[in-house]
């Protein structure tokens, strides 16, 4: 590994101090360059969330502290900022269970773009309220992802809107990848050396694809693991099969982690995950709820079930991971207050929920 002095010198010479330790290579240079450009666009829009010390030398990166309550603002704003003037004038349409919807509504408001959002009729009230607060026009459909996708494309065709996928979009993946650049740089700033393990919740795969790709260019070894609910383990199944495996929406709908209910990893992220992800850990509903409780009690963080899933991976499966400093990406904190109290005072319901 290069010395800290050489690394710091390299950083000062680069365009961006925060991300200069990333080295471009022929294989991933285009996407790495897009991630670096996204980092510049996101200044003043997305927070550079801290690494919070946790148990046994591990850290939590609380993306729940972002302005819209999740990491999604990174990819959403980056994608909308790159639209042409003609595309901006037409407006955008997205399909989302909530966090991408909120992020698109916020980015659209900031950029003066009309946004139509297709959401499931069981989306958490807090996420619906967030979209409306930023002026997004909501169209509700049934609870399954396939319904949202179909309706969004129908609206796009009817109204001439631009579809912005929550994961299957290079500019979205690039925006999410800035989380990886920050992690590498922050560990350096903290003086942490040696191998590191990063745990990332995985649904359609945009966040895990962006982070795992970004970290392949850091000057140390990173092992990036996706963490997903046992009740929606389509990414683990897909990686094992070497191709995208689709789960029935009735099955994935059972998990309380509403942001991770996609039936299969999106095509663009999946190609990156096959190259860069070290593996996938699955966690139970009870482990997710326990992680929410631990986050509140020990880290003073309010996390939604999806946002606590990676922490559940650390709490219940540390022995399954390689040696190294562990960083947990706490992806979001948008949870209805009543449901949050229920989770913290009761337990997980292993059946279909209204989360």
Active site residues: 72, 97
Measure the CA–CA gap between 67 and 45, rounded to whole angstroms. 8
- Helix/strand/coil percentages in the chain, nearest 5: 50, 15, 35
Structure tokens given for 280: 């996938």
Helix (H, G, I), strand (E, B) or coil at 87: helix
Measure the CA–CA gap between 269 and 33, rounded to whole angstroms. 17
Measure the CA–CA gap between 249 and 254, rounded to whole angstroms. 9
Q: Are strands 59-62 and 196-201 parallel, antiparallel or unpaired?
A: unpaired
Structure-token match 């595309």, residue found = 87
Measure the CA–CA gap between 197 and 193, rounded to whole angstroms. 12
For residue 72, what are the CA distances in angstroms to 42, 47, 156? Answer: 12, 12, 21
């Amino acid at each position: 590994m290069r010395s800290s002095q050489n690394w710091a010198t390299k950083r000062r010479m680069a365009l961006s101090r925060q991300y200069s330790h990333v080295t471009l290579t022929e294989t991933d240079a285009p996407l790495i360059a897009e991630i670096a450009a996204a980092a510049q666009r996101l200044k003043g829009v997305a927070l550079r969330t801290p690494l919070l010390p946790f148990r046994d030398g591990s850290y939590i990166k609380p993306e729940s502290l972002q302005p819209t309550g999740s990491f999604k603002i990174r990819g959403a704003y980056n994608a909308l900022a790159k639209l042409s003037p003609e595309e901006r004038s037409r407006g955008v349409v997205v399909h989302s269970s909530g966090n991408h919807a909120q992020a698109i509504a916020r980015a659209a408001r900031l950029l003066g773009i009309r946004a139509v959002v297709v959401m499931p009729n069981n989306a958490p009230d807090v996420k619906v309220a967030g979209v409306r607060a930023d002026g997004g026009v909501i169209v509700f459909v049934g609870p399954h992802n396939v319904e949202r996708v179909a309706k969004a494309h129908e609206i796009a065709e009817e109204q001439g809107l631009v579809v912005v996928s929550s994961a299957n979009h290079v500019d979205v993946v690039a925006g999410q990848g800035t989380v990886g650049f920050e992690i590498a740089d922050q560990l350096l700033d903290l003086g942490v050396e040696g191998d590191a393990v990063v745990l990332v919740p995985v649904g359609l795969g945009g966040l895990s694809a962006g982070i795992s790709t970004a970290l392949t260019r850091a000057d140390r070894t990173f092992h990036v693991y996706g963490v997903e609910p046992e009740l929606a383990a389509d990414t683990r199944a897909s990686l094992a099969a070497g191709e995208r495996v689709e789960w029935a929406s009735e099955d994935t709908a059972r998990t309380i982690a509403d942001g991770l209910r996609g039936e299969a990893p999106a095509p663009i992220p999946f190609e990156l995950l096959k190259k860069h992800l070290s593996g996938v850990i699955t966690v139970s509903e009870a482990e997710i709820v326990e992680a929410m409780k631990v986050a509140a009690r020990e880290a003073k963080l309010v996390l939604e079930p999806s946002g606590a899933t990676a922490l559940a991976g650390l709490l219940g499966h540390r022995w399954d991971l390689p040696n190294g400093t562990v960083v947990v990406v706490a992806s979001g904190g948008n949870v209805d207050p009543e449901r949050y109290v229920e989770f913290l005072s009761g337990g997980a319901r292993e059946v279909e929920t209204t989360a």
